[in-house]
Chain A
Amino acid sequence: MKYLLSRLLWLPVVMWAVATLTFVVLRLVPGNAADAIFNLNLPIEQIEQFKAQWDLDKPITQQYLAFMGDLLRGDFGVSMSSAVPINRLLYERIPPTVELAVAAMIIATLIGVSAGVISAVTRNRALDFVVRSSSLLGMSVPWFWTAIVLIIVFAVQLRWLPVGGRIAGGMDYERITNFMLIDTLITGNWAALQSHLRHLILPALAIGLTSAGFIARLTRGAMLEVMSKDYVRAARAKGLHERAVVFKHGFRNALLPILTFLGLQFGALLGGAVITEMVFSWPGLGRLLLDGILRRDYPVVQATVIVVAFIYVIVNLAVDLAYHLVDPRLRNT
């Protein structure tokens, strides 16, 4: 309990540090995004006006305090290129990315964990070899290329699934949470739900397959380690069914390292989402980030990076808390 509390209290500190590092990298690096604007061939008065408008003429400490003050109130500022409040952009862009990352996580976990367990149980036999080689292959294929291969096979050649986008053009649905899956479910809009799911499959697979490779490899290692323990031998010796040995004694104990790793993989998945969104024209944070970079819209870049890192930090905290639920030994600490 004390541990959980300290972890929760630590969260704001981590978030502050993440936001500060982002600010520092974007502002203090020579030739940074804010400076780049002044290299444009504009009349001096216009640059001065621009500087004043975005407070760039103020000392950096003052800019930092203003940025932190806004952030504390949950305000990410205004986009430099479109003058739209960034909070509104985030409201539109966070749900699609979270949807994609969660769907990819589910795919990666299902495939990765089961492949890893199968591989460990059939150690050094043909099936183990197949799983190990395919997980190495999965680890080595770049996300964006898997995405293109999937598009070519399932969208262009077989025509089973759409090439990109989040929902079929012209299809409308009521926005409540902006999570399409939730909105279409609670309004009972089955046609939109189906269309959305069909659009979700390929991008989620593209990201999930890479992570599945990493997860399978780690699960195999964790399982093999647990299965060599004395209590597993004892379970076998008392005549327990092999399936019970594998799941009750083996898998449950291997779950802890697997869980930690799943949390870490979520970071990779978020990164994968940011990149895969470009392939599938998925309207999420990745697109927002890249547009921000190309337009030198550093408030947008800053906000997107901070939000993605926050999501990652929170997921890892959740994994840490889940740890305590799974492992009875930790429950009372």
Chain B
Amino acid sequence: MAATQTVQRMTSANVMVQPGALSRAARRALCFARRFKAAAAGLVFLISISLGAIFAPLLSPHHPTQPNIPERFKLPGGQYVLGTDDLGRDIATRILYGARNTLAAGVLSVALASLIGSVIGIAAAYRGGWLDNLLMRLMDVMLSFPAILLAILVVASLRPGMANLVIAIAFSLIPTFARLVRSVVLGLTHLEHVAASRALGAGDRHIIVRHIVPNTAPLILIQATAALAVAISTAAALNYLGLGVEPPQPDWGLMVAEGQKHVFSAAYIPLIPGVFITIAVLSVNFIGDAVRDYLDPVLKR
């Protein structure tokens, strides 16, 4: 119940229009939240952790990277909610700051991949011919690699770092977006209203902007939420391998890697960041399922 209320508040706060529209949007959000409780809970988690990450300096009195040796290995509970690590840094604080890296890497790479993938998909379907062939064969080759391996290859070539991590993950996600968009657009270009629009003298740009993009958007959204779960896991994995964020910067995957040597004495250090990765990915999966269930009937119609 608390979850639904928060969602309602969040949604209405974002809309900021006339009272009628506001209550309609709120009612719709409430209805969505009632139908998809797990997704609503996931959304609440993601929104709160994002707000926590943005306002981390205000929320926490501790420094995310500065060692504080006298306070090392403090168990969760008490003064430090989630304990301190082997350098005496507050784990809760590092989780909040770390969310900036983990979640941002996921969101940015999906945004980049869906954009580039859509352009490739539209270009391939719309132009057809040799360009279609060339682009799609290229996508096939990219899909011949296990996705995470492709990301590792790109990061290896560009050298580790946060920006390169985003590029690498985006690169590995592009082919699925391109293929999806291409197949949808191919279906659309043969529809009557597009043909009618063309007969009325509409140019390519008009057709793409007015007919193609709005009709592919819901599918891209479904694909993007699914890809976000993958992107966050991949970001966490690459950071775990030390191919992303550089220490002492906090990141959830990196925190697991750094804490791993303490499995015998202080197992909470590697365990806690993993719990956050899992809940974040789970939340995205819940939302992805809900978005798909919600949009699917619309698409079928």
Contact = CB atoms under 8 A, between A and B. Distances in A.
Interface of A: 14, 17-18, 21-22, 25-26, 29, 31-33, 36, 136-137, 139-145, 148-149, 151-152, 156, 163, 267-268, 270-272, 274-275, 278-279, 289-290, 292-294, 298, 301, 305, 308-309, 312-313
B241 interface: yes
A290 B264 CA distance: 25
Interface string B266-280: 010011001001110
B156 A301 contact: yes
A325 B199 CA distance: 49
Contact of A136 (B146, B154, B282): B282
Contact of A312 (B144, B271, B274): B144
Contacts of A313: 144
A176 to B, nearest CB: 29
Given A141-B278, A152-B271, A156-B267, A271 B144 contact: no
A140 B278 contact: yes
Contacts of B257: 144
B241 to A, nearest CB: 6
A142 B155 CA distance: 19
Closest 9 CB pairs of A and B: A145-B274, A271-B148, A267-B146, A140-B281, A140-B282, A271-B146, A17-B141, A293-B156, A29-B157
B253 A31 contact: no
A31 B158 contact: yes
B256 A145 contact: yes
B119 interface: no
Given A17-B137, A163-B263, A267-B147, 16 more contacts: A14-B141, A22-B153, A25-B153, A26-B153, A32-B158, A33-B157, A136-B282, A137-B278, A140-B281, A142-B236, A142-B278, A144-B256, A145-B270, A270-B146, A301-B153, A308-B149
Contact of A26 (B137, B156, B243): B156
17 contacts: A14-B144, A18-B144, A18-B145, A26-B153, A31-B158, A33-B157, A139-B285, A142-B281, A144-B253, A144-B256, A156-B267, A267-B147, A268-B146, A270-B146, A271-B148, A271-B149, A313-B144
Given A32-B157, A142-B277, A137 B282 contact: yes
B229 interface: yes
A274 B152 contact: yes
B274 A149 contact: yes
A309 B237 contact: no
B156 A274 contact: no
Contacts of A279: 260
Given A18-B141, A293-B243, A148 B271 contact: yes
A306 to B, nearest CB: 10
Contacts of B25: none
Contacts of B237: 142-144, 275
B157 A145 contact: no
Interface string B223-264: 000000100010011001111000000000100110010011
Determine the main DSSP class of B at the interface with A.
helix
A305 B141 contact: no
Contacts of B155: 293
B188 interface: no
Given A148-B260, A268-B146, A29 B278 contact: no
A26 B168 CA distance: 13
B97 to A, nearest CB: 19
Nearest to B153: A305
B274 A142 contact: yes
A151 B263 contact: yes
A309 to B, nearest CB: 5
Interface residues of B, number: 44
B141 A140 contact: no
Contacts of B263: 148, 151-152, 156, 163
Contacts of B241: 275, 278, 290
Contact of A21 (B142, B152, B236): B142
B159 interface: yes
B152 A293 contact: yes
B147 A309 contact: no
A92 B253 CA distance: 29
A313 B154 CA distance: 19
A267 B145 CA distance: 7
Nearest to A267: B146
Interface in B155-170: 155-160
B120 to A, nearest CB: 15
Contacts of B277: 142, 145
Contacts of A144: 236-237, 240, 253, 256-257
Given A137-B282, A151-B263, A156-B264, A275 B148 contact: yes
B144 A142 contact: no
B157 to A, nearest CB: 5
A25 B149 contact: no
Nearest to A266: B146
A53 B140 CA distance: 35
Contact of B271 (A17, A22, A26, A149): A149
Contact of A309 (B146, B233, B242, B270): B146
A118 to B, nearest CB: 20
Given A33-B156, A305-B153, A142 B233 contact: yes
A151 B243 CA distance: 23
A268 B150 CA distance: 11
A298 B271 CA distance: 34
Contact of B148 (A18, A32, A274): A274
Contacts of B243: 293
A302 to B, nearest CB: 9
B212 to A, nearest CB: 28
A140 B229 contact: yes
